[in-house]
Structure 1
């Protein structure tokens, strides 16, 4: 397994024969457009590191035959095919290609890469906010792009130009001087707690109770839920292993690696959830999937599951727009409100950090902070309260006279 290093430092791995190999990128072949890979070899890891560093340092002084007349269109397409597409997910690649072909190239494609300026890029962002939406039908009236879409275009263009700086095609990244729309904070919608029972009863009537119960008690992403296999469940220890997700690629449903490395995780389940999953598997014991589609026997379509969610909401009379993904938010909200600590919840959700979880569920943690403040306030009030003064002793002369008990008879 190669040892990952910072960008521009190459990579080191131990070969099967016991020797160490260091690889680095020398540049781009102007004919094929592919990265030129070089390597060094050594007997020890330390020696390999030293030789790799020296090779990279020496390479920086060698003039490479770059095509200095790249246009923005040529470079973005070359960067996408060579550096980006091989290492990103298929659906992500479609998003990148859309940004390049439908937004960046129409606005900037003909400009020479070394002549591209920040103000030209800023104009692209500004125009996209008002008139950047691709016209997909004749009567389309909404032409503005959302702030998040403009941020996505910026991310793709900035990444391409950052690589151009590394390859010494341009001296700096003109995207660095541009202003992009701030990150939009959307109001989170969750399933109303008072209607949770009715919602699950409707799910049982529809024949999907185990799936929806698991979602609300684990907070899995939709694709992760649908990719589960029976052997992912440890019934004895009540542990569920999450390592795949279902996605649609070229019209076909396939199981792929999850969203991020942090998404590969183990989630503890309640006894009730495990019992429901065992009964679900008994309905189709020969199918390896935990939730096979009743129509095909294969993976459920993510869109079909979302449609069922909308039907359940309508049956229960929930008017709020609660997406299937909002069931994940519902789980997280219930967990935080029940006292689950943020670090534990972050690992259950597959977030990359507890800080991201805190930022995502600020509305809940703010309420928790107010509750904590009230508890601390009560403690401090008790601690700083002045003790009640003891009543003074009665003055002398006012003592009650004790009459001795006389025995009669």
Structure 2
């Protein structure tokens, strides 16, 4: 039996076309046992010798029998099925599958995984920013086909994680997404429901039989999915607390109940007495229903989209500027800070992962708090100077 040439052994020769070639054993085919031979080319023997040294070093870091077996598309599908899907929440799956099927596979899916470069990925991101939005069937033709920086950054995070696993499995030497330049977030001006409009807003909600729901929202800052997934078993009337343990989202046309957004989102909220009184009155309207706020049409869980549309109608009825339903959460947070609620307590109520994140999110409110604090200490010191 002939002696196998060890991985890394190579030889150099001059070709008939005048160039120098270095050939080396990169590995062995696991099925046939045959050597996998690769080569490098150069104008001089010294150049090829240096290239050969680098190529041999790299081959020892790669699983050569598998490194060339995948395209970006086939590896992405493998990674999603094995590593991502079992570990993500149901509503996150819709984001992942959309990024993969609508953007990554059409954009760079056909490229061999081991040939993917940072420049190719960067161009892919640049194109997404300009023309990445997908035209949906039976929808009006898109006038603006650009994707938001937020979505592009989401695509990058997913692709980067996928390629990082390829590095861990010795399919790539390095992650080509690592050096890409990402678009800056376009920070939108935060909107809230004006304080002088809150009374009108709640009065209009009461006309629609939803005073308890919207009062609870404005006094807790719950996410819409958290609010609509609440059941009577989550309410502790005696201790005036509410357990937030689940949320509802519409995924592929179906309402899906899942754990909240993050681990910190599982929390227990303290309620004002008026909120408890309104909820007790609310239960008398539908005593046998398990949900705090069931749909008036179906008696089952309130559809998040229908609930949002009710919010939009209330805003229109009171003649105020349109804000998203999520901005009611911002309204709660802003008013809490301005009323002197400490940031750590507020962060826990909102389900944020840290008080620092809360501070960064509500800088518009905390800036005034800082000025008030400065004025207060300034007044104390000034009195001592008299």
Preserved CA contact (<8 Å) 2:316 2:322: no
Aligned residue in 2 for 1:338 = 339
Aligned residue in 1 for 2:25 = none
Aligned residue in 2 for 1:152 = 154
Q: How does 1:66-81 map to 2 (within 5 A)?
A: 66=66, 68-81=68-81
Aligned residue in 1 for 2:297 = 295
Q: The residue matched to 1:172 in structure 2 has which SS?
A: coil
Preserved CA contact (<8 Å) 1:72 1:108: yes
Question: For residues 382 and 85 of structure 1, what CA distance do their matches in structure 2 show?
Answer: 63
Unaligned runs of 5+ in 2: 1-29, 32-59
TM-score by length of 1: 0.77
Cα displacement (A) at 1:142: 1.0
User: 1:131-173 CA deviation, whole Å, 9 max, x = no partner?
Assistant: 1111235732211111111111111110100111111111111
Q: 1:311 aligns with which of 304, 310, 313?
A: 313
Classify 1:63/1:111 alpha carbon distance in 2 versus 1 (closer, same or farther; 3 Å). closer
Question: For residues 122 and 99 of structure 2, what CA distance do their matches in structure 1 show?
Answer: 15
Preserved CA contact (<8 Å) 1:243 1:257: yes
Preserved CA contact (<8 Å) 1:238 1:271: yes
Cα displacement (A) at 1:69: 2.1
**Mean Cα displacement is larger for which, 88-97 or 272-281?**
88-97
* RMSD of aligned residue pairs (Cα, Å): 2.0
Classify 1:166/1:62 alpha carbon distance in 2 versus 1 (closer, same or farther; 3 Å). closer
Higher RCO (C-alpha 8 Å, min separation 6): 2
Q: The residue matched to 1:254 in structure 2 has which SS?
A: strand
Q: How does 1:143-222 map to 2 (within 5 A)?
A: 143-222=145-224
Aligned residue in 2 for 1:353 = 354
Preserved CA contact (<8 Å) 1:189 1:321: no
User: 1:333-359 CA deviation, whole Å, 9 max, x = no partner?
Assistant: 110000000000000001111111111
Question: For residues 61 and 132 of structure 2, what CA distance do their matches in structure 1 show?
Answer: 42
1:382 pairs with 2:383: yes
Q: The residue matched to 2:178 in structure 1 has which SS?
A: helix
Preserved CA contact (<8 Å) 1:292 1:299: yes
The size of the alignment, in residue pairs, is 327
Q: How does 1:216-365 map to 2 (within 5 A)?
A: 216-318=218-320, 320-365=321-366
Cα displacement (A) at 1:65: 5.9
Preserved CA contact (<8 Å) 1:132 1:145: yes
Q: The residue matched to 1:175 in structure 2 has which SS?
A: coil
Preserved CA contact (<8 Å) 2:229 2:247: yes
Classify 1:360/1:62 alpha carbon distance in 2 versus 1 (closer, same or farther; 3 Å). closer
Tell me which structure has the larger Cα radius of gyration.
Answer: 1
Preserved CA contact (<8 Å) 2:337 2:366: yes
Unaligned runs of 5+ in 1: 1-29, 32-59, 388-409
